[in-house]
């Protein structure tokens, strides 16, 4: 059964990793532990098969298994959003049908990568895609990965389509995000979610509905607390929690270019806290023993299963 997606959808919708075995197949037990960890940490939804979910590197058999298992395990406790980005329009349609059959509440699509496409053609593509999928479609602006940016006017015109319900922005450009937000003031039900961990607080304080912070895979309660503080306008709480997010990112992702691909750090941390293994899809490789030791030193000093305690951080 596909329940109706909240409109707008607010909170932390975790862009989930895909637990894998060393042979590249889905680790079902790891996925179950991850989902319970996330829901127990208070997240407001799950976004599977996005960039953090390694979708472009996974065979379709694994993608379909992820859809079925996630929807079954989550049940009706939180909304499940399914990434359907693909270079093939037909495969995107087929993945959307699988998502609907499994009980997902929406699908998410970035521009098809590889070929150059102008904005008019992208708008036509998304409008056509939205008309063919049986559940709401979110746009995914991920120019670092797709080499296409959804221009502000394209997003505005897409918001007029009856089945296009929101945007996840991973452009790392807050100027762009705020222009989109201002331009969509006449579309209050159109969902605006930001991608990167370190932009969650700023985006929510200035009008975003929430975020898909990848770091919430590991420490969901931290990112939920940050969202709640920002949504409440608790600036002292935001400052303290945002600092903890920055410390988490630096300790887990290690390198300065983590924003391009945080997967190895996330899976390393999840393996160290007993959620799933650290296997990643090729061409990526897991962290080395030395890198794992650095992440472990950080994790030994925090409790990722608890909500951070903030003294003197009341609004």
Whose tokens are 């940016």? That residue is: 149
* 256/264 Cα distance (integer angstroms): 14
Radius of gyration of the chain (CA): 18
With contact defined as beta carbons under 8 Å apart, do 65 and 99 qualify? no
Angle at 16 between CA 263 and CA 60, to 5 degrees: 90
**Residue 253, helix vs strand vs coil:** helix
* Cα separation of the two ends of the chain: 41
Distances (CA, A) of 86 to 58, 102, 249: 11, 19, 29
The residues, ordered by sequence, that sit 6+ positions from 168 with a Cβ below 8 Å of its Cβ are 47, 50, 108, 138, 139, 140, 141, 142, 193, 194, 195, 212
Measure the CA–CA gap between 227 and 48, rounded to whole angstroms: 20
The whole-angstrom separation of Cα 105 and Cα 307 is 28
Identify whether 8 is preceded by a cis peptide bond (ω within 30 of 0).
Answer: yes
Burial class (CB in 10 A: 0-12, 13-18, 19+), 298: middle
Residue with tokens 């208070």: 42
**Residues present in the chain in total:** 315
Q: Which residues contact 64 (CB under 8 A, 6 or more apart)?
A: 95, 98
d(CA 117, CA 162): 23
Residues assigned a catalytic role: 140, 168
Q: What is the DSSP letter of 44?
A: S
């Amino acid at each position: 059964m596909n329940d109706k997606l909240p409109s707008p959808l607010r909170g932390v919708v975790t862009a989930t990793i895909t637990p894998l075995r060393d042979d590249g197949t889905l680790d079902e037990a790891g996925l179950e532990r991850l989902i319970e960890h996330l829901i127990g940490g208070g997240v407001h939804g799950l976004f599977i098969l996005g960039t953090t979910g390694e979708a472009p590197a996974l065979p379709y058999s694994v993608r379909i298994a992820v859809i079925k298992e996630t929807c079954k395990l989550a049940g009706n406790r939180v909304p499940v959003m399914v990434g359907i980005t693909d270079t093939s329009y037909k495969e995107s349609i087929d993945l959307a049908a699988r998502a609907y059959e499994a009980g997902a509440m929406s699908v998410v699509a970035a521009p098809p990568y590889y070929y150059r496409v102008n904005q008019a053609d992208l708008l036509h593509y998304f409008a056509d895609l939205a008309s063919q999928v049986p559940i709401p479609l979110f746009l995914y602006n991920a120019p670092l990965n797709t080499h296409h940016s959804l221009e502000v006017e394209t997003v505005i015109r897409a918001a007029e389509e009856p089945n296009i319900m929101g945007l996840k922005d991973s452009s790392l450009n807050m100027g762009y995000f705020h222009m989109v937000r201002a331009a969509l003031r006449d579309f209050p039900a159109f969902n605006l979610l930001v991608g990167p961990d370190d932009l969650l607080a700023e985006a929510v304080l200035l009008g975003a509905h929430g975020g898909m912070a990848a770091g919430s895979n590991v420490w969901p309660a931290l990112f939920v607390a940050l969202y709640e503080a920002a949504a409440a306008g608790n600036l002292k709480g935001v400052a303290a929690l945002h600092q903890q997010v920055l410390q988490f990112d630096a300790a887990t992702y290690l390198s300065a270019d983590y924003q391009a691909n945080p997967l190895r750090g996330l899976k390393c941390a999840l393996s160290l806290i007993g959620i799933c293994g650290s296997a990643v899809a090729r061409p990526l490789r897991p962290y080395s023993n030395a890198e794992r030791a650095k992440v472990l030193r950080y994790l030994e000093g925090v409790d990722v299963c608890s909500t951070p305690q903030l003294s003197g951080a009341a609004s």
